[in-house]
A = this chain, B = another copy of it.
């Protein structure tokens, strides 16, 4: 299957403003995001959240795209409504007019440029290998979650294919030159891939690449009343995609007691101390390092 219709979604989270400024740039210079073999639609995910400089108005927009939520007409929160309109523009999820969705995000975590892939398959493997070949600094983050795509709740799962461009560290509501450049460069490489894929002109790709697969999230240390009693230890802060071994310092209580990682095996961290995850007291994601066979 070739990719005929592509959508780039910017500003899905209102305070991740890098994507919104890239959108403004691309609106003025649309040739930057078009290629001969496909058409590109540029969509601002959550303009109202951007206006009020918040991640969202009522709910996280990037959690509203399961097939069940999209079908549930009794939901009336702002993002629950916005999701249905985006599904009209880009989807419908069950039989989408859009072949490929690129959703632009930033994180306060030190993740560098990251390609997040919510599904498995040959198309994704080739994409990841091409991206690693062209931009070796990119980390490939597999978040398939072992679900059927219908259950996935992310914006990018509206298309036949979809990925997240996730770049950090950058504080919420801030533009960083380096993060802006990395977000733009990674998007360009993905667009180049799609164009080459459509023409069956991909270069020779590596037989396998390094990637990371999501295992689970860890919560911050809480007391019985659910109040935080500590924070991410400085040995883990900024160490996204680095090893965390059993017994390594993981948290420190406000009183100064170190809480070590109590797992049985070496894992890797991601979304370390991400600002947006404080709502749910999430401290970090844990990942396994994998070898992705390119076939």
Query: Using a CB–CB distance below 8 Å, which chain A residues touch chain B?
Result: 21, 24-25, 29, 108, 169, 171-178, 180-181, 228, 231-234, 237, 252, 254-255, 273, 275, 278
Contacts and interface: CB of A to CB of B under 8 A. Distances in A.
Nearest to A235: B177
A15 to B, nearest CB: 9
A180 B228 CA distance: 14
Contacts of A234: 176-178, 181
Contact of A172 (B25, B173, B233, B254): B173
B278 A173 contact: yes
Contact of A171 (B25, B178, B275): B275
Given A180-B231, A231-B180, A174 B254 contact: no
A108 B237 contact: no
Given A180-B231, A231-B180, A174 B275 contact: yes
A234 B175 CA distance: 11
A108 B175 CA distance: 12
Contacts of A231: 21, 175-177, 180
B108 A174 contact: yes
A178 B237 CA distance: 9
B177 A232 contact: yes
B108 A171 contact: yes
A106 B159 CA distance: 41
22 contacts: A21-B228, A25-B255, A108-B174, A169-B171, A171-B171, A171-B172, A171-B275, A172-B173, A173-B275, A173-B278, A174-B273, A174-B275, A175-B231, A175-B273, A176-B231, A176-B232, A176-B273, A177-B232, A177-B233, A177-B234, A178-B234, A180-B254
Nearest to A178: B234
Contact of A278 (B24, B29, B174, B177): B174
A275 B108 CA distance: 12
A278 to B, nearest CB: 6
Contacts of A178: 234, 237
A254 B108 contact: no
| Listed residue (A25, A174, A181, A278) with the most chain B CB atoms within 10 angstroms of its CB | A174
Contacts of A255: 25, 29
A172 B175 contact: no
A86 B254 CA distance: 27
Contacts of A237: 176-178
Contacts of A181: 234
Contacts of A169: 171
